[in-house]
Structure 1
Amino acid sequence: MDGAMFSGIGLIIRFFMHRSHADLATSVMRALDTYRHAVGPDTLVWYPDAEGDWRRLDNSAWERTRQTLLDTSTHTFATLVDQPTRIVGFRFEYEGISLEEPGSFDDPRRACVASFWLPSTFLEKWGPGHARGLALELAAHLPFNSGYASLVFSRSEQPVGVVRQLNTLCFRHPGVDMFEHPVSWDIGTRIPGAYWLTFLGQPVLGELGGTEGLSARLTAPDTTVQQLPEDRAIVTLGLWPEAGDVDAGENLPAYRELARVLEPWLYHDSGTRFDPDFPPGDKRRWERRFLD
């Protein structure tokens, strides 16, 4: 992979929950505590204020953040980072919504979303088993409908020219995620895609015939399906997350196999959000990168 782009790659662990934040508040707080324990309690030390300016996270700001997450009001937002100027570092993002009292522009398929970012150095230092273990710990706290862990390109905080290069590289390296936060606006209970770690909840896992039915459809030698509590599962595609390189013939067959199995339940952007640097045709092509 282009070394100039490597600074823009990390690992993301993300969960979608098609329910109201009021039902999730304590679960999200437990997941955040687990993440902070794993990365170090003094790692996440910046947050954006109401105007979007970065502020140091002192004790009073941390307490306000906790109260915000534990508040069961209709919409809840929280972002914590290690360094405001770092392209891919340690980062926690959460957006909680209400399905009972949606905003005027909310889609009924909107979901709460929790994202936990790790820099590539974390994966290199501790190894993939540690990262997978953390993902499972986080998953244990969250009543997810779907989720995943993947290498990820970060387009935020990047110069325009770099963003356009990333948009090109994503087709060469299909194992690197490009999803943006607004996917949660209409994902509902669908599955975001086929990833290194793919978390499946209800109703999709049930419609696949549970872990036994899913396992029977997956034949790649390094693919494993593990049953999780509460009728959920995790699919792991090999020991390490792979970027792939279609120019070198690395088209990630295990990822393609899982995508074909999940195709009837996969998320596709409804086209209501226009990105001039990633127009609908390109976005659709990227969503189907393992299918076409």
Structure 2
Amino acid sequence: MNALPRIRVHARNGAVVLQEGICLSFYMHRSHQEVGPSVLLALDVYLEAVGRDVLRWYPDMDGDWQELTAEAWTGQRTALREGNAPRLQLTDRPDGVADHEFNYRGQDLGALSEEDAARTVCALSCWLPTAFLERQGPARVQGLALELATILPFDSGHAGLAFHALSQLSGVRERLEQERILYPGMDVPDEDASQYLGTRVRGIHWMNFLGPSVLGELGGAEALRARLTHPDTAVQPLGEDRAVVTLGDAPDAGDTSQGNVLPAYRELTRVLEPWLTSREAARPYRENEALRRWERRFLD
């Protein structure tokens, strides 16, 4: 396993506002009422992996952090069981970015316009520290991602290295833009943009989960495998209509300063380009040229 980058940016109060981590994300083009039981199971699988006592905080309706007491846990689980479009953010600390975090944004597609419903997804993501990868090995992270994939009726998903950042803070966005150019294998998660994926794919990562729509258009797992020649690439069917493409035995950040531009990632990007989505539509009010260049880092 290649050495992982160590990134720590601190606020004046000492809180970490930017660091590296492992992010596992799944997107389901369905209403929460259909996927709620699966999300509950996924939460339990995550807690079993990281420890039942790790997640200790959540934001209340006003955005203020509250402790996850037994009563609060009951409320979170009830929201997943009975809510129409619940939102969860469960974390291990109330200040700065977390080492461990579980996020979920549920949607009620029936309450949306036909146009919005066609592109809106329920989105689940969870975080692990890179220390988890180093202690337990990439096979354990891969196993956790695959276990979540068997539970969730995903249309797309991914797992790999990512920047965990409070990008709204002054100076953090600028530092993030510098680091993401250096490490092309690290994702920059964007929960707001990701909720409009529909059945498409958001970028290329270490593990790339493909749902029925995209995999069907590709001709299935065997047809996809035939188009990928890099020796580090593995295509694994997940049932009849889903698959995961894994790029190497362990996640690789790459390093443009050393000429490591991740050829396996570039090959998969070229194959999946027709199904990749851009975040630009969710950010029409920003200067997007730098974003466009970064999203095309494996193509240009």
TM tier, shorter chain? over 0.9
Structure 1: 5+ residue stretches without partners: none
TM-superposition CA deviations, 1:31-86 (whole Å, max 9, x none): 0011011111111111111111111101110000000011242x210110011224
Q: Is the 8 A contact 2:6 2:19 kept in 1?
A: no
> For this pair of structures, how many residues does the alignment match?
289
CA distance in 2, matches of 1:208, 1:251: 25
What residue is the counterpart of 1:187 in the other structure? 197
**Does residue 263 of structure 1 match 2:273?**
yes
C-alpha contact 2:56 2:67 (8 A) present in aligned 1: yes
Give 1:272 shift: 3.9
The residue that corresponds to 1:280 in the other structure is 288
Where 1:163 maps in the other structure, the secondary structure is helix
RMSD: 2.0
Cα deviation code 1:254-284 (max 9, x no counterpart): 00000000000001124342575xx311111
CA contact (8 A) 1:16 1:112 kept: yes
- Cα distance, 1:264–1:27 mapped onto 2, change above 3 Å: same
Once residues 291 and 131 of structure 1 are traced to their aligned partners in structure 2, the CA distance between those partners, rounded to angstroms, is 28
The ranges of structure 1 where at least 4 consecutive aligned residues each deviate by more than 3 angstroms after the TM superposition are 1-7, 103-108
Q: Which runs of 5+ in 2 are unaligned?
A: 10-15
User: Counterpart amino acid of 1:14?
Assistant: S
| Distance of aligned partners of 1:27 and 1:223 in 2 relative to their CA distance in 1, 3 Å threshold | same
TM-score calculated relative to the size of structure 1: 0.93
CA contact (8 A) 2:164 2:188 kept: yes
Contact 2:104 2:124 (C-alpha < 8 Å) held by counterparts: yes
Question: Which residue number corresponds to residue 120 of structure 2?
Answer: 110
Deviation string 1:188-233 (CA, Å, 9 cap, x unpaired) is: 0001121100000111001111110010011111110001124111
Deviations 1:80-136 (A, max 9, x none): 001122424100000010111127995630111000110111111111000000001
Residue 189 of structure 2: SS of its match in structure 1?
A: coil
3-state SS in 2 of match to 1:188: coil
Q: Which residue of 1 aligns with 2:156?
A: 146
Q: 1:119 to 1:86 in 2, by over 3 A?
A: farther
1:14–1:116 contact (8 Å) kept in structure 2: yes
Displacement of 1:151 after TM fit?
0.6
Q: Choose which of 97, 110, 116 in structure 2 pairs with 1:87.
A: 97
Contact kept in structure 1, 2:184 and 2:261, CA below 8 Å = yes
CA distance in 1, matches of 2:190, 2:266: 21
1:51 matched residue in structure 2: 62
Give the secondary-structure state (helix, strand or coil) at the position aligned to 1:190: coil
Q: Is the 8 A contact 1:85 1:157 kept in 2?
A: no
Identity across aligned pairs (percent)?
A: 47
